[in-house]
Amino acid sequence: MADPKYDVIAIGNAIVDVIAPVTHQFLKDEDLPAGSMRLIDAERSVDLYAKMGATKEISGGAAANTLTGATMLGLKTAFIGQVADDQLGEIYRHDLTSVGVSFETPARAYGDSEDEPPTGRCLVLVDPDGERTMNTSLGASQFLPAAAIDDDLIASTKVLFLEGYLWDPEEPRAAMRRAIEVARKAGVKIAFATCADFCVHMHGKDFRKLIDDGLIDILFVNEEEAGILEGTDPDAAFESLAKDVPVVVMTRGADGAIAARGDERAKVAPEPVDKVQDLTGAGDLFAAGFLSGYCRDASLEESLVRGAVAAGEVISHWGARPEADLKALVAKRLEA
């Protein structure tokens, strides 16, 4: 494909991370165990949001996190995801596009019915001890329609990146299947991130069929997800996946990451970090760094180094949005 407009287009959950400090009494009054993570319905999310004090809003979701990092590393990117026509939907769009990510998916109507939920949100309550209590409502993000897939847009990228979290709801799953069909016909490479162990437990057969049908060109997994997907230990699972997927990237926590492309193998150690503050977004930013190399025809090893640098930056502070100059960090690391 000659001169594509974008390097990476991603489809994923459009969720606003809403962060606010709270007291221990607030958590007690709302019956929220400190440090817990839970899914809540749209009604509860609106009620809890209204009770929070001053907040900080950041566009989130796994795929959006990856695009943010990739854009900061110089890639041209676009996002396909569903927000509602409400305040947080406007915040989400503005925040993502301000980084340089194109986001033109029309907003969905917001109203009083169950069919018109608000924009998805993760309400992050930070108590005086630094504990993060997370309450997530998927909201409108679960209703991304297949009609949102623009054939010309999908055909205008080097890589289509799919978020495993979004495979669960029926409507966006159909949208992603439609995007895969368009991408394959257009010769666009398809990257897939399994995202979490529960995604693989629930949809492992679907993920495996995508692999068996030759529909995944780049697979991002961690050790646990790979083991669940292949039903064996992580090392054996990695080699099994490498036989069926052109490029496999497996993160290994404190042991860094490994990648395979055909018979080629490469590995990288994690970047040194003074103190790990928050692991949120580590896998998302690793994918961003790797794709920044892949889309520029870098070696497998360099692509892994880029991933490690991006992941190391994001775990050094709270939140899944990079705060330092990723380009400068990568350049410094590659020069060392």
Q: What is the pLDDT of residue 147?
A: 94
Check whether 153 has a pLDDT greater than 90.
Answer: yes
Q: Which residues contact 39 (CB under 8 A, 6 or more apart)?
A: 136, 137, 138
Average pLDDT, the chain: 94
Check whether 2 has a pLDDT greater than 80.
Answer: no
User: What would the mean pLDDT of 98-124 be, rounded to a whole number?
Assistant: 92
- The fraction of the chain above a pLDDT of 90, given in percent, is 80
- Residue 142's SS3 state is helix
- Residue 228's SS3 state is helix
Q: What is the pLDDT of residues 289-321, one digit of tens each?
A: 999 999 999 999 999 999 999 999 998 887 888
Q: Identify the burial level of 295 via C-beta atoms within 10 angstroms of its C-beta, where 0-12 means exposed, 13-18 middle and 19 or more buried.
A: buried
Residues in the chain: 336
- Residue 54's SS3 state is coil
Tokens, residue 48:
């809890």
CA 79 – CA 153 distance, rounded (Å): 10
User: What would the mean pLDDT of 51-58 be, rounded to a whole number?
Assistant: 89
Tokens, residue 103:
């986001």
Do 242 and 250 touch, CB atoms closer than 8 A?
no
Q: What is the pLDDT of residue 268?
A: 97
Q: What is the pLDDT of residue 204?
A: 96
Could you give all domains of the chain from N- to C-terminal order, each with its CATH number? 6-14+61-112+142-335 (3.40.1190.20)
User: What would the mean pLDDT of 94-98 be, rounded to a whole number?
Assistant: 95
Confidence of residue 69 (pLDDT cuts 50, 70, 90): very high
Q: What is the pLDDT of residue 160?
A: 98
- The residue ranking higher by pLDDT, 244 or 127, is 244
CA 66 – CA 160 distance, rounded (Å): 12
CA 139 – CA 40 distance, rounded (Å): 10
CA 68 – CA 72 distance, rounded (Å): 6
Q: Which residues contact 21 (CB under 8 A, 6 or more apart)?
A: 53, 125, 126, 127, 128
Give 325-331 contacts, CB < 8 A, sequence gap 24+: 325/72, 326/69, 326/72, 326/73, 326/289, 327/72, 327/73, 327/74, 330/73, 330/289, 330/292, 330/305, 330/306
Do 223 and 252 touch, CB atoms closer than 8 A?
yes
Q: Which residues contact 111 (CB under 8 A, 6 or more apart)?
A: none
State which amino acid sits at residue 170. Answer: E
Check whether 1 has a pLDDT greater than 60.
Answer: no
User: What would the mean pLDDT of 160-168 be, rounded to a whole number?
Assistant: 95
Distances (CA, A) of 256 to 1, 89, 102, 187, 259: 33, 36, 31, 31, 11
